[in-house]
């Protein structure tokens, strides 16, 4: 049976060139990067070269890049440190953050460490920046603002510069979950008013289990994991050597083909949107689909029927991989908190399709044809 993978926002396949770059460090170059002999020095050099590569691509200083296990650890570290070390007593976030952020800020609030406020959303699911400014202007405590750059379910893009300038105006710490955009958009961190951003290798054809946390050079925080002196005393534990090498190689490849990939994938997204509109009555696109939105994500609501309630199951039976929102909550009874926040209509069933350069228009045609028989 033909298998079609339309869930690239959840994870992507490992690029063969990335695997090739990783292989020596999975085999003969196995030294502990903390060891002083040649095997160790070889591993240490690979990590520091990867750090320089990542920093150059993001236009940051190498000392601002810390390797982690992924986006969840990176966001947890940033949010916890902002409260513990930077004196933030109020967190301003949004109702549509990834659970790596939302569950962390809720936990901090429940512990009694911080007050928690949510910024309003516009009707199409964007952050209301005027409301963000209002919340910051009214706050008497130092604030952490945690807002994602691109929503992983509906694709809406935040104007990270505008949000950062508002935070700067009110001396707020700004953390942005950029897991869906690092590797998919160019960054210029030396000219972006943000204190923390995050990245995860598996979102752009790199390995799972490795990510980054960017910490602006003007921010001083304490380590979250204690032990050895790895990651300049910020993250103890033997480094994920081959993961780090793979992350840097994947980011390098994604950056080199960004323009070509963006144009091609955008075309696929719009092609599927137009085909769905033409072939299936009563559909609804969630988020700012044709505006400020990820070129990789298309979130569609279908009229709820007995058949459409089984849509993800039926897609799977037909060899089609998609999700009902974030992969981290697929299978949860409550469904997507993001869809509930922007379009709480019980008569619609939402499905997220997300694309990569490996997908084709022929696959779109096949999926739309199958969907017609599932509704």
Q: Let me know whether 147 and 275 are in one domain.
A: no
Q: What is the mean pLDDT of residues 335-358?
A: 92
DSSP string, 277-301: HHHSTT-EE-SSTTSSB-TTEEEEE
Predicted pLDDT at 259: 97
Q: What is the CATH number of the domain that holds 281?
A: 3.90.1150.10
Residue 215, pLDDT above cutoff 80: yes
Predicted pLDDT at 327: 54
* Cβ-based burial of 113 (10 A; exposed 0-12, middle 13-18, buried ≥19): middle
Q: Let me know whether 282 and 313 are in one domain.
A: yes
d(C-alpha 110, C-alpha 124), whole Å = 30
Tens digit of each residue's pLDDT (9 = 90 or more) over 88-101: 999 999 999 999 99
Give percent above pLDDT 90 in the chain. Answer: 91
d(C-alpha 74, C-alpha 351), whole Å = 28
Split at pLDDT 50, 70, 90, the class of 375 is confident
Q: Let me know whether 302 and 217 are in one domain.
A: no
d(C-alpha 235, C-alpha 59), whole Å = 22
Q: Let me know whether 317 and 330 are in one domain.
A: yes
Tens digit of each residue's pLDDT (9 = 90 or more) over 117-154: 999 999 999 999 999 999 999 999 999 999 999 999 99
Contact criterion met (CB below 8 Å) for 160 and 176: yes
- Can 328 be counted among the known catalytic residues? yes
Q: Let me know whether 359 and 269 are in one domain.
A: yes
As for how many domains the chain has, the answer is: 2
Predicted pLDDT at 224: 83
Split at pLDDT 50, 70, 90, the class of 306 is confident
Q: Let me know whether 87 and 118 are in one domain.
A: yes
Q: Let me know whether 252 and 269 are in one domain.
A: no
Q: What is the mean pLDDT of residues 227-241?
A: 96
Domain limits for position 55: 16-256
Q: Let me know whether 151 and 265 are in one domain.
A: no
Among 88, 143, 167, 328, the one annotated catalytic: 328
Q: What is the CATH number of the domain that holds 71?
A: 3.40.640.10
Q: Let me know whether 231 and 309 are in one domain.
A: no
Confidence (pTM): 0.95
Residue that wins the pLDDT comparison between 373 and 268:
268
């Amino acid at each position: 049976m033909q298998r079609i993978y339309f869930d690239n926002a959840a994870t992507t396949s490992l690029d063969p060139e990335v695997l090739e770059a990783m292989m020596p460090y999975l085999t003969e170059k196995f030294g502990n990067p903390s060891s002083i002999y040649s095997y160790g020095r070889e591993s240490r050099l690979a990590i520091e070269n990867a750090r320089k590569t990542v920093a150059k691509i993001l236009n940051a200083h190498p000392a601002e890049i810390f390797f982690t296990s992924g986006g969840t650890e990176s966001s947890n570290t940033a949010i916890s440190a902002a409260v513990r070390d930077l004196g933030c007593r109020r967190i301003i976030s949004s109702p549509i953050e990834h659970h790596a952020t939302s569950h962390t800020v809720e936990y901090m609030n429940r512990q009694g460490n911080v007050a928690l406020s949510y910024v309003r959303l516009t009707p199409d699911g964007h952050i209301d920046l005027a409301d963000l400014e209002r919340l910051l202007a009214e706050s008497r405590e130092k604030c952490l603002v945690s807002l994602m750059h691109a929503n992983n379910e509906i694709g809406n893009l935040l104007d990270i510069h505008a949000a950062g300038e508002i935070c700067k105006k009110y001396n707020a710490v700004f953390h942005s979950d950029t897991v869906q955009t690092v590797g998919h958009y160019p960054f210029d961190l030396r000219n972006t008013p943000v204190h923390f951003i995050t990245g995860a290798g598996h979102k752009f054809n790199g390995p799972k289990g490795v990510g980054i946390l960017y910490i602006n050079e003007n921010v001083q925080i304490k380590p979250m994991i204690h032990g050895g002196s790895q990651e300049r005393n910020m993250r103890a534990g033997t480094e994920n050597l081959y993961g780090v090498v793979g992350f840097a190689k994947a980011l390098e490849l994604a950056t080199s083909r960004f323009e070509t990939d963006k144009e091609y994938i955008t075309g696929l997204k719009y092609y599927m949107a137009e085909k769905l509109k033409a072939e299936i009555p009563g559909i609804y696109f969630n988020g700012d689909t044709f505006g400020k939105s990820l070129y990789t994500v298309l979130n569609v609501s279908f009229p709820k029927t007995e058949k459409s309630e089984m849509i993800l199951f039926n897609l799977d039976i037909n060899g089609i991989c998609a999700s009902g929102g974030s992969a981290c909550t697929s299978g949860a009874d409550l469904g997507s908190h993001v869809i509930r926040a922007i379009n709480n209509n019980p008569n619609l069933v939402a499905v997220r399709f997300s694309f990569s350069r490996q997908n084709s228009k022929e696959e779109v045609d096949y999926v739309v044809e199958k969907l017609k028989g599932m509704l």
